[in-house]
Amino acid sequence: MLINTMGVRRTILFLILASMFALVHQFAVIASLYWYFWWFDILMHFWGGALIALGVFVFSGFSFSAFAPSLKITLLSLIIITVTWELFEWFVGLYEPVAYLRDTAKDLVVGVGGGLLTHGIIKTYTMK
């Protein structure tokens, strides 16, 4: 067996939330929600950070991965993935040049914050 029962539930939850995230993002791009609603970008970065943290827990549940989902690993994953995403946004031109630094800082803080909150919630409710 690759993962335990709790791991199966986490994996299913992760896949459902990630699929919903992708669908909402696609719809938001098509409907220009990121440009119409100033808060929509904040929501999506928070949700993305939460998905990253949940993904760390899911991946650690597989039998071939030999790590515990510690705060350090979750934080490192959050920083690497959120910085990589911000670099992607910059390279493809998905930014407003006037407010780029402030927007990027906000995106990083919100994404990492969403991930840390998710990490704390999962740790709190799954402690043995």
Structural domain for 51, as ranges: 5-126
Residues across the chain:
128
Q: What is the pLDDT of residue 1?
A: 46
Structural domains counted in the chain: 1
**pLDDT, tens digit, 9 for 90 and up, residues 27-47:** 999 999 999 999 999 999 999
**pLDDT, tens digit, 9 for 90 and up, residues 55-77:** 999 999 887 777 889 999 999 99
* pTM reported for the whole predicted model: 0.90
- DSSP class per residue in 98-110: GGHHHHHHHHHHH
More confident residue, 5 or 54: 54
d(CA 120, CA 116): 6
**CA geometry: angle at 58 spanning 57 and 62, to 5°?**
115
